[in-house]
């Protein structure tokens, strides 16, 4: 094929069933823009490589699990295009996603990083909420127009290769999946780079019926809470334990007073933060 204009990198580890849907959606893109799709297997022990092979896509595998940022960096090294797009392995991209991403990057030639809307999609329905809580998985909606922003999220992120060469690669010391893309975007902005939200380049963040139940969502929220607190601590932004405990108590009050099942998910996230705050911290040198 011709030299691609876009490399789409799909970092993945141990979620072959989700990955199959993601790859199918990427193969159904309606665009004439030359592009390549690269799967980076971060040490999975399931059928990830077989899923990529059935889709006719190249898969680069790590010998053992490393990190999401390590997988991103592998995709950057192995790809060839001047624009590198990253999507998570649990998304579904509509047929016009790649075209919208590329056209948006052309509209903003001075920007070096881009992101688009991330819509939560629960197949079979999510636990009932009262309307006061955010979706229990990562979403992003910054309006109907392109705009310059501080951050976008790694589930739907594109960066210019020239920016990577200027700023450096993603920090592989961040092994827990929270704040991993933010650290790179902070470096970019500190060096004068611009980040632009592309309103038309949206995709869906999926949860299957089994994973959209209360228990798995709460477990995932607890893990994210621990990682979020660790990320805040690493950057010197962690609130005091007393504040974390007040938030946890507020989640409990919300759940009981409003009979809101999604309050359990919020409480699990907060509990993860509290547990991480109580964990002994290594001495800083």
Write down the domain spans for the chain. Answer: 6-207, 214-278
What is the Cα–Cα distance from 59 to 64, expressed in whole angstroms? Answer: 15
Residue 251: CB atoms within 10 Å: 22
Please report the pLDDT score of residue 59 as a whole number.
Answer: 97
CATH topology of domain 6-207: Spore Coat Polysaccharide Biosynthesis Protein SpsA; Chain A (3.90.550)
Q: What pTM was estimated for this model as a whole? A: 0.92
Q: H or E element: which one contains 114? A: strand 113-115
Alpha-carbon gap, residue 266 to 255, rounded angstroms: 9
Do residues 68 and 88 touch, judged by C-beta distance below 8 A?
Answer: no
Residue 71 to residue 65: CA distance in whole angstroms: 9
Across the strands, what pairs with 111?
Answer: none
Per-residue DSSP letter, 33: S
Residues of the chain with pLDDT under 50: 283-285
């Amino acid at each position: 094929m011709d030299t691609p204009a876009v490399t789409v990198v799909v970092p993945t580890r141990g979620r072959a069933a989700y990955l199959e849907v993601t790859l199918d959606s990427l193969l159904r893109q309606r665009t004439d823009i030359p592009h390549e799709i690269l799967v980076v297997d971060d040490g999975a022990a399931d059928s990830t490589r077989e899923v990529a092979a059935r889709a006719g896509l190249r898969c680069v595998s790590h010998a053992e699990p490393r990190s999401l940022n390590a997988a991103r960096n592998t995709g950057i090294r192995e790809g060839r295009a001047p624009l590198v797009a990253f999507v998570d392995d649990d998304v579904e991209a509509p047929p016009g996603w790649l075209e919208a991403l590329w056209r948006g990057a052309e509209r903003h030639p001075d920007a070096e990083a881009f992101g688009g809307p991330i819509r939560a999609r629960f197949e079979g329905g999510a636990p009932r909420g009262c309307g006061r809580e955010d979706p229990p998985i990562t979403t992003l909606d910054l309006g109907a127009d392109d705009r310059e922003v501080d951050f976008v999220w790694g589930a739907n992120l594109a960066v210019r290769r020239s920016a990577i060469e200027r700023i450096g690669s993603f920090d592989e010391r961040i092994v827990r999946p929270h704040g991993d893309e933010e650290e790179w975007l902070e470096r970019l902005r500190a060096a004068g780079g611009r980040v632009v939200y592309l309103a038309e380049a949206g995709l869906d963040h999926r949860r299957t019926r089994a994973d959209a139940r209360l228990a798995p969502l709460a477990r995932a929220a607890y893990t994210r809470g621990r990682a979020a607190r660790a990320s805040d601590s690493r950057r010197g932004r962690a609130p005091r334990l007393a504040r974390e405990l007040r938030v946890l108590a507020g989640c409990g009050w919300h759940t009981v007073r409003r009979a809101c099942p999604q309050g359990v998910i919020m409480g699990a996230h907060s509990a993860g933060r509290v547990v991480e705050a109580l964990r002994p911290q290594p001495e800083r040198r």
